[in-house]
Structure 1
Amino acid sequence: MSDVSSSAIELSYPLNRSPVVHTRNTEEMRHAMINFYGAQAFSAAAEGFEGFGSFVNLDATGFGFCRYAAPAVASFPETDFARLQIALGGSARTSSGASAVDVDQDCMGVSTAGMPSRLEFGAGYEQMVIRFSNAKLMATLEAMLGVRPRGTLVFVPSTRLDHHGARALRDFGMFLAQNVDQEQAPLPPLMLRELEHALMVSFLSVVRHNFSNQLDRDAPDTAPDYVRVAEEYVAASWNRSITITDLAAVTNVGVRSLFKAFQKHRGYSPMAFAKAVRLNKAREMLMQGDPSRSVTSVAFACGFSNLGHFAHDYRQKHGELPSETLARAR
């Protein structure tokens, strides 16, 4: 979709080998923004307008570049992805919910999935946008926390480049964008998945959100000794169902105090941790593909007496049924 000479597209824009639109016609740009990028509305100053947009969609992420020679505004409805805006030139303003932030080369913009947003682009604005599948982010967050997070993922709407790790996140994102838009052979699928996963981990680690405090617990010695005693006991007792009374007896601490300490220092309950340990052990056993093992025997070996509950909890944590894990392993 273009009314600009093809030679103009050969400019050194990021993702220029994956163009979506390059035009001086505001209506054509509006059509592309609504029908391809999913915008709800788009408008731009007609005088001096020129817009360029490109996009590469991967499994868990999507990379898009856009440039506007004249001021423009795009509104997006609720989406199933989080958005990271990396300004490469000029400035913009992003509004979502009750917040409005300026996006420029010193500050990246962040939009939370499920929240409508309004993006106002200044003249000469250029940006790289990285979309992160919210479902993939939640699965990655669960792996990082060790338990399923409660509630939705909500991001702080901006991250300054002088924030710890922010420049590395930006550079990593630009590196991956460059390597998915090249004339050479595509990256090996396994390598691409690992790079996407690393980018999501970086995004969740650098950009602040409502689970950041749980991820920040990189100093386990700040937790009381009885929390670590309980964790060690759970890890050593993966083959049986543990009750909160068992943990209270082992730690010599009241049930209420134990719950409060786990929530404060770990971000989850002691019983959620115990279940996660047993589910991880079950997956480890199933992945071995031992012909003598069945889903039932593994469930019982890991302390699960109700097979229906085991299958449900396993699927919630690992994204597939235990029978599917065993079949793949064989």
Structure 2
Amino acid sequence: MSTAFAMPGLSEALITMSERQLFASRDLAQTRSLVGTVMKPHDLQVRGSGQQVNARMHHMAFGGVSLNRLKYGADVEIEPGPLGDFYLVQMPLDGHALITSGTQRVGSNPDVASVLSPCDSTVMHWSGDCDQLMVRIDRLLVDRAAGALSGRLEPETIRFQLGFRWRECPPWRCLVQYLNDCASHPFDPCQYRLLVAHLEQMVVATLLAAQPHDMRQPDTVRCTAVLPRHVKRVQEFLRANAGEPVSADQMALVAGVSLRSLYAGFKEYCGVSPMQYLRTLRLDGARQALLSEPNCHIATIAMRWGFAHLGRFSVEYKERFGESPSQSLRRR
């Protein structure tokens, strides 16, 4: 069975996704159970007599983020209650849905997505032709980022505005297209953990910037609150974890200050941002691998150290070391 993640108006290409199909089923109980393995256990009922589900679901996970496509093939009522441990962005490609979440309610269609927050009890009615593309995001990823941005250093659960006119938001559209492209090609998230971590952060940051929410404003912190010892603490952490996924909120927790203060301190003390400092460490790691590992390939080394764009990697590498990656490879 050949199916696709298709996004009308975003891409002219119809990308075959049969290898990402999780299931196809006409059994209501089986459909409920299999969707629940990706989302959460929920109540699922067919609305109206004489209808039968003809469901299919595609799924691709990128760490704490997953891209999903789901169609039930019948008018259904879905009652997941509070989502609990994840946020969910639902974008109909066809059909429509009526979503009630907490005190908010929205009629969702191909122009209007719904953004479900984890603490709000949710009930949904999907039309029989409703075909939804969904981005599931682990709650902790969002809550950590919100807490770090607010300057409170602890995870902070937020509530998004339910209705989201996603097609009018170029950054989110580009992000969804990028996820779609990643899902359409062979990709082993376990092999490229740094890229997966970057993708997680990109999804969270884009959603926080694109969709209104109730996150509190950051506390006012004087730049003098960031002392050299805080910056040095983060430097040591980054040197010890350059080959591991590192997020901005992790660095803020290590430093014990808000992101705003951490970045201000790094700029003043090091002349670069923490992420730029980390990128330099990863360039150093890539160089060491090129000079010491037998039978290595430049592309493999670059991706292992979190550089997805080989052209940009080569430029940055040459700027730092005065020679290209291929020249370093020949010097072994």
What TM-score does the superposition give when structure 1 sets the normalisation length? 0.60
1:91 Cα deviation after fit: 0.8
- 1:174 is aligned to 177
Query: Using the alignment, how far apart are the partners of 2:153 and 2:33 within structure 1?
Result: 40
- 1:231 is aligned to 222
- Which one-letter code corresponds to 2:64 in the other structure? A
Query: Using the alignment, how far apart are the partners of 1:142 and 1:184 within structure 2?
Result: 31
1:21 Cα deviation after fit: 2.1
Correspondence 1:256-267 to 2 at 5 A? none
Correspondence 1:216-295 to 2 at 5 A? 231-235=222-226, 238=227, 279-288=230-239
2:214 pairs with 1:210: yes
Query: Using the alignment, how far apart are the partners of 1:201 and 1:48 within structure 2?
Result: 39
Give SS of 1:77's match. Answer: strand
Match 1:63 to one of 60, 67, 73: 67
Match 2:88 to one of 83, 86, 97: 83
Percentage of pairs with the same residue: 14
- Off by >6 Å, runs of 4+ in structure 1: 184-187, 315-318
1:285-306, Cα deviation, whole Å (9 max, x unpaired): 45456xxxxxxxxxxxxxxxxx
Alignment check: 8 A CA contact 1:94 1:101 kept: yes
- Which one-letter code corresponds to 2:163 in the other structure? S
Query: Using the alignment, how far apart are the partners of 2:137 and 2:37 within structure 1?
Result: 20
Change (3 A) 1:24 1:232: closer
Query: Using the alignment, how far apart are the partners of 1:86 and 1:190 within structure 2?
Result: 27
- Which one-letter code corresponds to 1:132 in the other structure? I
1:51 Cα deviation after fit: 1.2
- 1:127 is aligned to 132
Correspondence 1:1-330 to 2 at 5 A? 9-13=1-5, 15-45=17-47, 46-47=50-51, 49-78=53-82, 79-148=84-153, 151-161=156-166, 166-183=169-186, 188-211=192-215, 231-235=222-226, 238=227, 279-288=230-239, 314=254
Alignment check: 8 A CA contact 2:69 2:134 kept: yes
Give SS of 1:123's match. Answer: coil
Change (3 A) 1:287 1:189: closer
1:211 Cα deviation after fit: 1.8
1:208-266, Cα deviation, whole Å (9 max, x unpaired): 11127559xxxxxxxxxxx7xx734334xx15xxxxxxxxxxxxxxxxxxxxxxxxxxx
Query: Using the alignment, how far apart are the partners of 1:56 and 1:316 within structure 2?
Result: 35
Structure 1 range deviating more: 31-40 or 51-60: 31-40
Query: Using the alignment, how far apart are the partners of 2:129 and 2:23 within structure 1?
Result: 17
- 2:307 is aligned to none
Change (3 A) 1:194 1:234: same
Change (3 A) 1:81 1:317: farther
- Which one-letter code corresponds to 1:62 in the other structure? S
1:315 Cα deviation after fit: 8.9
Query: Using the alignment, how far apart are the partners of 1:96 and 1:279 within structure 2?
Result: 41
1:159-209, Cα deviation, whole Å (9 max, x unpaired): 12365xx24313312321331342466683322321221111101111111
Give SS of 2:19's match. Answer: coil
1:316 Cα deviation after fit: 7.5
Alignment check: 8 A CA contact 2:140 2:155 kept: no
1:48 Cα deviation after fit: 5.8
Change (3 A) 1:279 1:120: farther
Alignment check: 8 A CA contact 1:30 1:43 kept: no
Find the structure with the greater CA-based Rg.
1
What TM-score does the superposition give when structure 2 sets the normalisation length? 0.60
Query: Using the alignment, how far apart are the partners of 1:40 and 1:317 within structure 2?
Result: 40
- 1:322 is aligned to none
Alignment check: 8 A CA contact 1:23 1:52 kept: yes
Query: Using the alignment, how far apart are the partners of 1:30 and 1:91 within structure 2?
Result: 20
Unaligned runs of 5+ in 2: 7-16, 241-252, 259-332
